[in-house]
Structure formats: structure tokens, C-alpha cells
Amino acid sequence: MAGVGKLLKQALKMQRQVEAMQAQLEAKELDVTNGGGAVKIKVNGAGKFLALGIDLELLKEEPALVCETLLAAVQDAATQSKEFNDSQMKSVTSGFQMPGFM
């Protein structure tokens, strides 16, 4: 049973680290631009969109181009946030080892 106690301590330590990392991810802001800077999005490391800016010149373009540019910017911001989140969380959870699991 000593192994279970060690495992529990390890799990509690990881839980505290994950909670701390989640707070850091909430505070981390990522700036993403698309369309040559025509669209600017601010998203945090937890995936929450914080701000959206659109150059007024973009709005003079064809509606389909405006929509494509906005969609690409949102997708890029979501991807960058997820990749940042995953890399940061991996640094916290990589040391946790479950006996019998790889």
C-alpha cells in the first residue's frame, strides 16, 4: 500500500501544479494577426477570446473575402492558444507516472 500513498501524493502535487498552470494560462495573452494585419485577435492561453480588431479597409472588400479572413484569423487564434496550452500543461503532467501505464 506504500505505492498507493506515493501515487496519491504525486497526484495531489500534480493537481496543485495544474491549478497554478491554469491560472497562468488565463493570464497569458496571445496576439494573433491575419490578412496582413487586417484582423487582430487577442486570445488567452486558456482559449478565451479577449478582443477582435478589424482594419476598416478590409470591410471594403468583397464579403466572401472578409468572411474568409475573419474565419482564418479565428481558427489560427484557436490553434495557437491550444498549442500553447498543450505545451504548458505537458510540462506539468509529464512527470506523473502511473504504475503499469505508459
Q: Residue 99: inside a domain, yes or no?
A: no
Q: Residue 102: inside a domain, yes or no?
A: no
Q: What is the reported pLDDT for 58?
A: 96
CATH of the domain at 21: 3.30.1310.10
Q: Residue 98: inside a domain, yes or no?
A: no
63-92: per-residue pLDDT in tens? Answer: 999 999 999 999 999 999 999 999 988 887
Which long-range contacts does 65-72 make (Cβ < 8 Å, 24+ apart)? Answer: 69/34, 69/35, 69/38, 69/39, 70/39, 72/34, 72/35
Residue predicted with more confidence, 13 or 70: 70
Q: What is the reported pLDDT for 99?
A: 55
Q: What is the pTM of this model?
A: 0.78
Cell numbers 468583397: residue: 62
C-alpha cell at 55: 482594419
Number of domains in the chain: 1
Q: Which helix (H) or strand (E) holds 29?
A: strand 29-34
Look at residue 18 and tell me whether its pLDDT is greater than 50. yes
Residue predicted with more confidence, 89 or 39: 39
